[in-house]
Amino acid sequence: MNTSVAPAASLLKARADLLASLRAFLNQRGVLEVETPLLWPTAIPESYIELFVVQAGDRTAFLQPSPELFLKKLLAQGVGDLFQLSKVFRRGEAGRWHNPEFTLLEWYRVGWELEAFIAEVVELIRSVLGDASAFGSSRSDVPVDSFRYGDLFEEILDLPPQAPLDAFSEKVRALGVPEAEKLCRSRSDWLDFLFATFIQPKLPEGIVVVKDYPAELSALARLKSEEIAARFEVFVSRIELANGYHELNDSRLLRKRLEAAREEKRRRGEVVPPLDEEFLRLTDRLPDCCGVALGVDRLLALKLGRDSIREVMTFPWPLESSS
Amino acid sequence: MASVSTSQFKPGLKILLDGAPCVILENEFVKPGKGQAFNRVKYRNLLTGNVLERTFKSGETVELADVLEKEMEYLYTDGEFWFFMDPETFEQVQADQTATRDAAKWLKEGMVCTLVLWNGQPISVVPPNSVELKVVETTPGVKGDTATGGTKPAKLETGAVVKVPLFIEEGEVIKVDTRTGEYLGRAGS
């Protein structure tokens, strides 16, 4: 659907109310709102997040895919609990639940345990989604389910996330998606594909927390064990809504992971952002903290029972041209 | 033919998959937050009629299929092929049994059908939604028996056999739904 007509007044009001309530939720809890650059000469390299490159004179700069780079620098400088509610940019992402430019809410809590932090994320989502009638329930609060990543794999695919890749090949052939063998190279490719294709569609309605992601899928999280990282996601009505971590503050480990991501991007012929040395240096001074990024457009679409974020954006990216 | 990438996929687009012309029915962009993007596509194979699903790597390219739909007039059949003519160019094509499938039993000379052509060759013949055909064989009508609602088989001039109300006589022209094979009424009604 391509449209350059803004949505109805009621949608505009709903978005304004949502932004205000998100701010109020965090303000009331003592989390400070900050603003950081959307355009910068460096960016955190992530294997599958493509960057918009901007020529600023003879300098190259990047539209930021998340405010993480700056929020962590502020945290390392002792600012304390903070959040940013702003647009972010990810090249090549457009569809029912994606737009190359979208609104992200990202916040951090210093010294919090992961479980307590997850509870706050769920509380924020619940405060927005209100009662559970939208989920076909008569409960006065939206139901919340919690699963471990590995348990979901065992239950739905009969395989652990650490299974040999051959087992995954066999599984997709048996389930009628043999083309996955061409798409998936690494274990992390396989895990993401299998989760999105077979597990996510089977998650229950309502709010679903998935914890204990495998280490391969969690470059920016600290490890709980050799195989499990302190990473969680929150799904609502099977839509991926939030992604959070107990943040990694080991700069040597982080450098290795970021270099690996840069190498993959280089291999694919993508523009590779320079490593932000200040960011790496400050990582060692990052206090013990948890952080989360939440898609605000998706949250609004879920609240209003819409089928696509395009319906809740004033001017969704025009699909005819390439991004 | 030209190629398209997944970013140009949309319902109605005709592409070549494993050498067969297919039409995209649904296209979903899927991307886990930190994972790679792919397109989940539901499509119909225009040769077999099967509806299938396939996942593509986002950015992958496929060839467009030279498929178009044309209104053509039915001429005749020799039992092996059914011949159609473009009423504007007078160009003729022949559709085989696979392309004609169930349509054959509704075809009457002069009937305008929609032909799906792939590289200029008919792969599917779609008759109009309803046709008016003469009943050539049926048991005698029971006069005044409009109340019982019973039916009897009737053979039409094209060979199709449909169920008609008991009062229909041989020689009458009736209207039939080609999609369901149902009697719709007397011609002109």
Q: Do B32 and A179 touch (CB under 8 A)?
A: no
Report the C-alpha dihedral over residues B155, B158, B160, B163, rounded to 10 degrees.
-50
Model confidence band, residue A137 (pLDDT cutoffs 50, 70, 90):
low
- Which pLDDT tens digit goes with each residue over A236-247? 999 999 999 999
Instruction: Report, as an integer, the average pLDDT of B91-101.
Output: 93
- Which pLDDT tens digit goes with each residue over A4-20? 555 688 999 999 999 99
Q: Do A179 and B7 touch (CB under 8 A)?
A: no
Find all residues with CB under 8 Å of A132, minimum gap 6, and list them: A138, A139, A140, A141, A142, A143, A206
Model confidence band, residue A2 (pLDDT cutoffs 50, 70, 90):
very low
Nearest to B35 among A94, A96, A192 (CB): A192
A243–chain B nearest CA distance, Å: 8
Q: Do B57 and A322 touch (CB under 8 A)?
A: no
Residue A52 pLDDT exceeds 90: yes
Phi/psi of residue A47, each to 5°?
-50, -45
Instruction: Report percent pLDDT > 70 for chain A.
Output: 93
User: Using alpha carbons only, what angle is made at residue B73 by residues B71 and B78, rounded to the nearest 5 degrees?
Assistant: 130
Residue A145, H or E segment: strand A144-148
Q: Do B36 and A192 touch (CB under 8 A)?
A: yes
- The listed range with the strongest mean pLDDT (A136-150, A212-226, B70-84) is B70-84
- CA gap A286, B115 in Å, rounded: 68
- CA gap A20, A14 in Å, rounded: 10
Tokens for B41?
């596509």
- CA gap B144, A28 in Å, rounded: 83
Nearest to A195 among B28, B32, B54 (CB): B32
Residue A3 pLDDT exceeds 60: no
Q: Do B29 and A240 touch (CB under 8 A)?
A: no
Q: Are B64 and B22 in contact (CB under 8 A)?
A: no
| DSSP annotation of A135 | G
Determine contact: B56 vs chain A, CB below 8 A. yes
Residue A216 pLDDT exceeds 90: no
- Whose tokens are 């449209």? That residue is A3
State the pLDDT at residue A111. 98
Determine contact: B55 vs chain A, CB below 8 A. yes
The ipTM is: 0.89
Q: Are A7 and A311 in contact (CB under 8 A)?
A: yes
> SS3 breakdown of chain A: % helix, strand, coil, rounded to 5?
40, 25, 40
Q: Do B57 and A189 touch (CB under 8 A)?
A: no
Residues 27-46 (B) with a CB less than 8 A from some CB of A: 28-38, 40
B5–chain A nearest CA distance, Å: 10
pTM (two decimals):
0.87
- CA gap A167, B46 in Å, rounded: 34
Q: Do A193 and B29 touch (CB under 8 A)?
A: no
Q: Do A98 and B33 touch (CB under 8 A)?
A: no
Determine contact: A231 vs chain B, CB below 8 A. no
State the pLDDT at residue A5. 57
**Set of chain B residues whose Cβ sits within 8 Å of the Cβ of A322:** 7
Q: Do A182 and B34 touch (CB under 8 A)?
A: no
Burial of B76 (0-12, 13-18, 19+ CB in 10 A): exposed
Residue B163: how many other CB atoms lie within 10 Å: 12
- Which pLDDT tens digit goes with each residue over B61-73? 999 999 999 999 9
Q: Are B82 and B61 in contact (CB under 8 A)?
A: no
Q: Do B33 and A240 touch (CB under 8 A)?
A: yes
Find all residues with CB under 8 Å of A72, minimum gap 6, and list them: A108, A247, A279, A282, A283, A286
| DSSP annotation of A190 | H
Q: Do B38 and A47 touch (CB under 8 A)?
A: no
Model confidence band, residue A322 (pLDDT cutoffs 50, 70, 90):
very low
Average pLDDT, chain A: 93
State the pLDDT at residue B147. 62
| DSSP annotation of A214 | B
In a 3-state reduction of DSSP, which class is residue B13?
Answer: coil
Residue B82: how many other CB atoms lie within 10 Å: 24
Residues 58-77 (B) with a CB less than 8 A from some CB of A: 58-59
Pairing mode, if any, of strands A289-295 and B3-5? unpaired
Q: Do A189 and B36 touch (CB under 8 A)?
A: yes
A138–chain B nearest CA distance, Å: 31
Average pLDDT, chain B: 92
Any idea how long chain A is? 323
Find all residues with CB under 8 Å of A131, minimum gap 6, and list them: A139, A140, A141, A142
- CA gap B72, B90 in Å, rounded: 9
Q: Are A240 and A220 in contact (CB under 8 A)?
A: no
Residue B6 pLDDT exceeds 80: yes
| Beta bridge partner(s), residue B118 | B67, B121
Q: B interface mutation test: which of A47, A175, A183, A257 has the most B CBs within 10 A?
A: A183
CB pairs under 8 A between A and B: 64
For residue A219, give the chain B residue with the closest CA.
B34
**Set of chain B residues whose Cβ sits within 8 Å of the Cβ of A49:** 34
Model confidence band, residue A1 (pLDDT cutoffs 50, 70, 90):
very low
- Which pLDDT tens digit goes with each residue over B178-188? 999 999 999 87
Q: Do A48 and B37 touch (CB under 8 A)?
A: yes
For residue B28, give the chain A residue with the closest CA.
A95
- Which pLDDT tens digit goes with each residue over B128-174? 999 999 999 998 876 665 666 788 999 999 999 999 998 899 999 99
B62: left (phi over 0), alpha (psi -120 to 50) or beta: beta
Q: Are B183 and B174 in contact (CB under 8 A)?
A: yes
Residue A70: how many other CB atoms lie within 10 Å: 20
